[in-house]
Amino acid sequence: MREPVHQSAWVVIFRRFSGNKMGVFGTVLILGLVFTAAFAPFLEPHSFKDQNIELMNAAPSQTHLLGTDEFGRDLLSRIIRGARISFVVGVLSVAISVVIGVFIGAIAGFYGGTVDVVLTTIADLTWSMPAILVALLLVAIIGPGLESVVLAIGLSYWAEFARLIRGQILSLKNATFIEATRTLGASDAVILFKHLIPNCISPIIVAATIGVGNAIVLEATLGFLGMGAQPPTPSWGAMMSSGTAYLFISPWVIIFPGIAMMLTVLGFNLFGDALIDILDVKNNDSAK
């Protein structure tokens, strides 16, 4: 009798992942973001709120390593705090999108027919509506702020996940083990939540990871347009926005938040790309 070699899936993924240099780099960047966000109050050399009019638009110096903004607030501290905003907004909005998207997409794919047509149409309509418009609408209703931004992104981005999982479920729902579970008397809910969705989740994880990067950019865009975090809350987008007026005087006010954002998005994208490679390989490898 052949001995089955049992290697936990996570061990296999971890081992493969550590071989992928880009992915490791991406992870490092993300961890950097998380660390900064978590320990912001301890990391910032000054308070992000402290204004110091005398030092406004000061160039990088020893006291203010990255310079100051137009209110004399320390840029480095604001960027560090901004990490929190970016991270929270990014993760929360994608979480909302994933929950809505997976639920709707799974139901559309599973039941098919009219239900599918209706839900897919709604998804397509949502997808074609730019998040900016949705944000404007929300701002009009509940006022500007991070809540509007998170909701706006969450409510317009879910269509991507819905489409992804719908496709997966369409192809998997006729698999033999699904039929077997149905024959045992399982309800639709059990089949959907215990068998179909878990087996379709890999592409969702990958898309979600890359989505966090997109959400952060989107938040910056909305912030740039003045719809996101309100002062004095430091959002990288808002910082860049107010900094445009001083582009030729103190360009660092735009450059440094921009670099921070670039590194963050890069980190998520590299991580997501590495995940794609690895999850594919694992699937191919584990088939005997």
Partner 1 sequence: MKNFLEVENLSVSFGVRGGLLLRQVGTIQAVNNVSFSVAKGEAVGVVGESGCGKSTLARLILRLIEPSSGRVVLNDTDILTLSKQELRAQRRHMQMVFQDPFSVMDPRYTIFESLSEPFKIRQIKHTADERLAKVNALLEMVDLSPMHGHSYPHQLSGGQKQRADIARALALSPEFLILDEPTAALDVSVQAQVINLLADLRKQLNLTFLFISHDLSLVSYFCDRVIVMYLGRIMEIVSAEDVGARPHHPYTKALTDNIFSTVPNKESQIPILEGEVPSPFNLPSGCVFASRCNKVQTLCREQSPVLTATPEGGEVACHYPLS
**47 binds partner 1, rule: CB under 8 A:** no
Instruction: Give Cα separations from 257 to 36, 63, 155, 173, 235 (angstroms).
Output: 14, 18, 26, 46, 9
**288 binds partner 1, rule: CB under 8 A:** yes
Compute the distance between CA of residue 152 and CA of residue 219 in angstroms, rounded to an integer: 9
User: Which of residues 184, 189, 248, 284 is near partner 1 by CB under 8 A?
Assistant: 184
User: Which of residues 62, 114, 128, 183 is near partner 1 by CB under 8 A?
Assistant: 183
First to last CA, the chain: 17
Smallest distance, Å, CB 230 to partner 1? Answer: 45
**81 binds partner 1, rule: CB under 8 A:** no
For the segment 268-287, give every residue that binds partner 1 (CB under 8 A): 286-287
Instruction: Return all residues near 94 (Cβ < 8 A) that are at least 6 apart.
Output: 153, 154, 157, 208, 211, 212, 215
CB nearer to partner 1: give 1 or 141.
Answer: 1
CB atoms within 10 A of CB 98: 23
Compute the distance between CA of residue 38 and CA of residue 32 in angstroms, rounded to an integer: 10
**189 binds partner 1, rule: CB under 8 A:** no
**182 binds partner 1, rule: CB under 8 A:** yes
**128 binds partner 1, rule: CB under 8 A:** no
Identify the H or E element spanning 272.
Answer: helix 252-286
Task: Map residue 74 onto helix, strand or coil.
Answer: strand
Smallest distance, Å, CB 117 to partner 1? Answer: 11
**193 binds partner 1, rule: CB under 8 A:** no
- DSSP letters, 47-62, are -SS---GGGTTPPS-S
What residue has token string 């490092």? 28
**187 binds partner 1, rule: CB under 8 A:** yes
**41 binds partner 1, rule: CB under 8 A:** no
User: Which of residues 2, 10, 53, 114 is near partner 1 by CB under 8 A?
Assistant: 2
Question: Left (φ > 0), alpha (ψ -120 to 50) or beta: where does 112 sit?
Answer: left
* Interface segment toward partner 1; rule CB under 8 A; list 10-18, 135-143, 174-182, 236-244: 174-182
Q: Using CB under 8 A as the criterion, what x/- string covers residues 235-274 for binding partner 1? A: ----------------------------------------
Question: Left (φ > 0), alpha (ψ -120 to 50) or beta: where does 52 sit?
Answer: beta
User: Which of residues 64, 73, 166, 195 is near partner 1 by CB under 8 A?
Assistant: 195
**180 binds partner 1, rule: CB under 8 A:** yes
Question: Contact residues for partner 1 (CB under 8 A)?
Answer: 1-6, 175-177, 179-187, 190, 195, 198-199, 286-288
